[in-house]
Structure 1
Amino acid sequence: MSTNVTSEAPEWFRAAVATKPEHSSVTVHGARIAYRCWGEPGSPGLLLVHGGAAHAGWWDHIAPRYAGERRVVALDLSGHGDSDWRDSYTLDTWADEVTAVAEAAQAGDHAVLVGHSLGGLVGIRTSIAHPDLITDLVLVDSRVLDAEMLDEIQRDQPEGGIPRRSKHYPSLDAALERFRLVPDHASLDYAKDHVARQSVVRDDDGWRWKFDRGFADDLTDLPPRPPSACRLSVVHGEHGVVTAAMIDIVTSELDEPARVVEFPGAGHHIPLEQPLALMDVIDDVLREHSARVGLGPG
């Protein structure tokens, strides 16, 4: 589908999304997992994991910046984007998908993982299950939960859960008119439009959102924190969903102090609100990571 980048988009954004990735897929636990790659296979990996109800295209304007030195990979978690749906979802399964995609894309060496929102929780789970793969982790406004917080959220869920059947729209324009970020906050219109156009698909009944509305119904395996040896960065918006208590949970018991960066004025969807500031943080993480593992200047 054409992304139709508007003329209001700055040149850096237009150049980034014009850098077309490789598209491929791998089967994980019976589901086809779609992913896209930039950079040379076998280069040190940079793994980008989207949030809930999102898709790999949220990284299209960020990934090309790192393709010269890294094998950059963004996947569609099952239940999202162009990947298959499952009967139920767990962070363990999504972590297996990240690992399988990293291997298939030849991005498994010296990997850094950047995860937005739910993608950050997937990143934590991946770092626990595969500490040799994920040694550096960047959480981008990820709502890290403990058992008490999870119980509170589950009590607030409507009885019977959310219907999984997606609403259909008669046209692409009608669907795009209804595209909303949750929670909604001021984002860059051209970035929001770019991801919106990749968020819908046409089937026999019309146009619908690509994600499975039941992707979070059975999530109970929430990880409290990454392994103590993980190098952790926590990026959050001033008006995002991360609290001081959540930061304390995820940064406690680390061998090295975590990098914690608050973006003034930002909400939850930092990749669409302040992508250049986010890339500045990723630059710092990769520079330190490269120096530590002997990869050169980064």
Structure 2
Amino acid sequence: MTQFTDRFVHANGLKFHYLDWGNPEKPPLVLLHGVGQTCHTWDLFSAAMSPYFHVMAFDQRGHGDTDWATDKDYSRKTMVKDADAFTDALGLKRFFLTGMSMGGANSLSFTSNHSHKVEALVVVDVGPRVEKEGVKHIRDFMSNYREFNDLDEAAAIIHKFNPRRPLEVIRKYTCVYNLKQLPSGKWSWKYDTYFSEGHRSVDMKQMHDELAAEVQKIKCPTLLVKGGESDVLSLDGVKEFQQLIPGADFSLVPKAGHSVMGDNPAGFEAAVRAFYQKKGYLTA
């Protein structure tokens, strides 16, 4: 796998951690992970894209090795400001943007409000319409499993939640990059406990209406990727997305749930690569 470099940059009052995958002479590609994840969520995709792009994946506020917000402001509006400040701090005038779940919603809002910065957008398994039960499934997992006795226990529990990934992959990568050891010796997630304590109650209709109003302003080439087995983004959600962004491309990746790029890395890469080739950003 192509080697990355861990870097830090100050933006919007916080210190952000990000992975720089090299090739700075290539077009920049910025990646935004989902809730409870880290920048390492994108490692396989980043390695695959690094020959063609200058890939930068950053930990969003309250996640990974980025600072937590002392005021507990994890609103989409503030996270969009983070992305704007982060890309400004790196001197990125125009770039490719990809986001998954929470990061996908943030990417949609960012693109709507900063269209001059985004060359093309890839959104992974999210849209203005998401399914309540699918979202609840994820939140229940985050709330019910906050600490683990050891990494083997953590891997077993994560594998039960998402059996699409091999247990050894979860143990070697997911646990290593997404967990931290506590003074007690137990292990916990590398994100602000605010996300797992039920404080982020969301009015689904309000979220839908606000994001839909932003999404319909997007004009750049856009690809929506759905996991074939996802319970978060439905085909009705896809239909609405394409009505809001006429001409948006769509790809359904089989053998994948909500976290498409981790469940079926090859399928996800193929979908994005085909989109970039179709739009003339990559040659076959």
TM-score category by the smaller chain? Answer: 0.7 to 0.9
Go from structure 1 to structure 2 and tell me whether the alpha carbon gap of 1:56 and 1:271 turns closer, same or farther (over 3 Å shift).
same
From the two aligned structures, give the one with the greater helix fraction: 2
- Asked if 1 retains the 8 angstrom alpha-carbon contact of 2:151 and 2:175, the reply is no
Contact 1:75 1:98 in 2 (8 A): no
Structure 1: which amino acid aligns with 2:32?
V
RMSD: 3.0
Q: Which residue of structure 1 lines up, in the alignment, with residue 78 of structure 2?
A: 93
CA displacement, residues 243-272 of structure 1 (integer Å, 9 cap, x when unaligned): 133223322243x51111112332212112
Query: Quick check: 1:26 aligned with 2:9?
Result: yes
What residue number does 2:183 align with?
Answer: 204
Q: Distance in 1 between matches of 2:129 and 2:81?
A: 21
SS at match of 2:96: strand
Q: Which of 212, 236, 247 is the aligned partner of 1:257?
A: 247
> Quick one: distance in 2 between partners of 1:84 and 1:95?
16
Q: Distance between the aligned counterparts of 1:42 and 1:20, measured in 2?
A: 17
Structure 2 Cα separation of the partners of residues 28 and 47 of structure 1? 15
Q: Which moved more, 1:184-193 or 1:60-69?
A: 184-193
Note closer, same or farther for the CA distance 1:50–1:226 as it changes in structure 2 (3 Å cut).
farther
Cα distance change on mapping 1:44 and 1:80 into 2, 3 Å: same
Give, as a single letter, the amino acid of the residue that structure 1 aligns with 2:78: T
Task: Say if 2:127 and 2:241, in contact at 8 Å, map to a contact too.
Answer: no
The 1:78/1:39 distance shift into structure 2, 3 A limit, reads: same
68-77 vs 244-253, greater mean Cα deviation: 244-253
Q: 2:237 aligns with which of 230, 243, 246?
A: 246
Give 1:143 shift. 4.7
Match of 2:157 in 1: 178
Q: Distance in 1 between matches of 2:126 and 2:16?
A: 23
In the alignment, is the contact (CA less than 8 A) between 1:191 and 1:272 conserved in 2? no
> 2:67 pairs with 80, 84, 88, which one?
84
- What is the CA–CA distance in structure 2 between the aligned matches of 1:190 and 1:286, rounded to whole Å? 32
1:65 to partner: Cα distance: 1.7
Corresponding residue number in structure 1 for 2:268:
278
Matched residues in 2 for 1:219 and 1:132: separation? 30
What is the aligned counterpart of 1:75 among 58, 66, 70? 58
Distance in 1 (alpha carbons) for counterparts of 2:44 and 2:14 = 27
Count, aligned residues: 264
Is the CA contact 1:110–1:135 (under 8 Å) kept in the aligned structure 2? yes
Q: State the alpha-carbon separation in 2 of the partners of residues 253 and 26 from structure 1.
A: 35
Is it true that 1:269 corresponds to 2:271 in the alignment?
A: no
Q: CA deviation at 1:20?
A: 2.1
- After TM superposition, the structure 1 = structure 2 runs for residues 68-147 of structure 1, keeping only pairs within 5 Å, are 68-86=51-69, 87-106=72-91, 108-145=92-129
Give the 3 Å change call, closer, same or farther, for CA 181–268 of structure 1 in structure 2: farther
One-letter amino acid of the structure 2 residue matched with residue 25 of structure 1: F
Distance 1:181 1:94 in 2: 31
Q: Does the 8 A contact of 1:73 with 1:105 survive in 2?
A: no
SS of residue paired to 1:262: strand
Q: Percent of aligned pairs with the same residue? A: 21
Q: Contact 1:232/1:251 (CA < 8 Å) preserved in 2?
A: no
2:194 aligned to which of 214, 226, 235: 214
Q: Within 5 Å, which residues of 2 pair with 1:146-185?
A: 167-179=146-158, 184-185=162-163
